[in-house]
Structure 1
Amino acid sequence: MNLKEAVKKSKAYLCLECGKCTGICPISKFNRGYSPRILVNKTLRKNDTTLLKDKNIWNCLTCRLCDEQCPADIDYIELTQAIRIEAQRIGEEAFCSHGGAAQSLMRIMTSESLQQKRLDWIDKNLKVAGTGEVLYFVGCLPYFDALFTETGVETLRAARATVKILNHIGVTPVILHQERCCGHDLLWSGDLENFKKLAEQNINEIKKCGAKKIIFSCPEGYRTFKLDYPKYFDCDFEVQYITDVISEAISNKNVKFKDFNKTVTFQDPCRLGRHLGVYDTPREAITTIPKIQFIEMPRTRNRAICCGVSAWMNCSTFSKSIQLMRLKEAKKTGANLLILSCPKCEIHFNCAMKDEKAGKDAKIETIQLVTLVADAIEE
């Protein structure tokens, strides 16, 4: 899709220049040099090369807050993705955090001859299979666990918790030995070619194991399989997010929980919330646990603020300001535990809390929703 097609598909030509997108944008709040409205204007009025070399095209978090506010119903995120793909084609790239380690790892995974050793996290008490109809897509959790140890986040706890939940309701999930990254980050950083390579390899591995349903504990993987894979490939399988599985188990009385005496709040992930409209099932899982006190932040559901980084790009002082703002909002509720449903949210928030600028009013314990649920299950 070239830029002219992207403008038409995203309806960017309907822009009223009202500035509501810039007014709601968390990046624009701290970075006065960034404006979604101005970038839409540039897309419509400037030549392609000028636009594609503008470093601001990489600043967008693709969180969809702007799309929620736009009175012309412009799909700014669709436009942003198309611009980045075209920019990549002429050799432009984003500045990637952590020296581009995550992106390098994703591109290494495009090799068909790569043989991974990525199942050491599976405990003896967890039941998994090599073939079957239900597959748990683990995603990059094994790699995040190694790459971001300095944050103190153990991302594989969520993988173990997900399998524990599935086992409890009678499901022995398939775990792929040679699963690749879903490709989310490469796609959103404009690398369409390598995204397709990862997607094709994942689809082939899924076909081999016979899975008909894929369960995710990562919102980005879920979004990528649900919305992006079908754009380029035939996908003969159902996808489901883990909170939907938990909700069904609660409705069918297949799970009971122990008391949990803590006050908690919840962060809506952008991909799960504004991208896919999943707001209720995470809250149902939380509020079903006895003795838990759940307090919402002022900005929640479709108004929730992003964790400040997307696809391991744009990790800057502006990102830290967004993260600390959101952490303070969570702490101000009176909660002593921030529940998250995205591994990257947990990494980014815990990284921000280690910043020297983070005071006591921005420090709060975090836990993944699946870990909370798994720990609360009454055996």
Structure 2
Amino acid sequence: MSFYINGIGAVSPQKSFAEALSSKPAVHYGNQLHCQEPDYTAFIDARQLRRLSRIVKLSIAASSQAVQDAAPAIIDGVIVGTGWGCIEDTVTFLEKMVENQEEALSPTAFIHSTHNTIAAQVAFQLKCKGYNTTYSHRSISFESALLDAALLLAETPAQTLLVGGVDELTNTSFSILSRFDLFKQPQELGSDSLFSLGTAGTVAGEGSVFFAVSGVRTEHSYCQVAAVQTLSFGSTDDAVEAARKMLQRHGLPAVDLLLLGNNGDSKEDKHYDSFETNFTQQGQTLKFKHLCGEYPTASAFGLGLGATLLKQNLSLGSVPQSVLFYNCSPQSHQALVLLRAC
């Protein structure tokens, strides 16, 4: 079920993955990390821009970058993972329901609020009439999309698929999530100090990361996605055992780099600490959520970071040949992704 990442596109709180891996990544202050948005007219006709929601524009920009990076002859399908979907449009629809007392509602806002709007708009923009689906499964939405891509490419390796992880941060969503004490207090909080505070809570983030993947390696390939596995309602020990078996199946005694989804929350990071200790990692260990913040599909940003490391050799010393990605969530969902250099 292995396949190759041949192109990557991203709109995130960092300008690029190369900058994120440099000695001076973008530092954000406060408890919200918003995307550094590009000039959308480079990807979308200016006449269409006003009709598209922000999350759709983020997705079209990132997916177009991935296509340009991979330079495939054709895109055969679009698969999107999103935990929150089109929140901005959902809020608009609900507000209209209240204002109009549930009468004479325009269906447009409802149509745009559905989760699969993102994949549909990306396919429409790229003129892709092939496979199109959306996964919304909390913190493993993106990994579910990756698994679907792996199954499709096992049947038809020559295809090129776009796989994306997308979620947006809005004032309404942040206000609602803040009621659950999920975020740190914003006073004098810098993203570069996220892991040194040792307090409860994290920082909210958002992002859109797309991958052009295929069962065929090309000159543009970043790395091989050797394995993807999700675990629901299991313990950290279960994830450690699954990781060991994953490495054994691929003939690896160890990995060069362990990429962890720590988010700075003292209550949640103990699970990552336990995984790292029990996995007995001998190589390097990196964290990434201080660069993008916490959101359901933040793992897509982490995967893009790992793939860029393997292609551009942007390591902290020795050149990694294998990366094991591990992410978990308070909803008891865990994910493992094994990347290998081409």
Shorter chain as denominator, the TM-score bin is 0.3 to 0.5
The structure with the greater share of residues assigned to helix is 1
Larger Cα Rg: Structure 1 or Structure 2?
A: 1
The structure with the greater share of residues assigned to strand is 2
TM (normalized to structure 2)? 0.32
Kindly indicate whether structure 1 or structure 2 has the higher relative contact order, using CA contacts under 8 Å at least 6 residues apart. Answer: 2
TM (normalized to structure 1)? 0.30
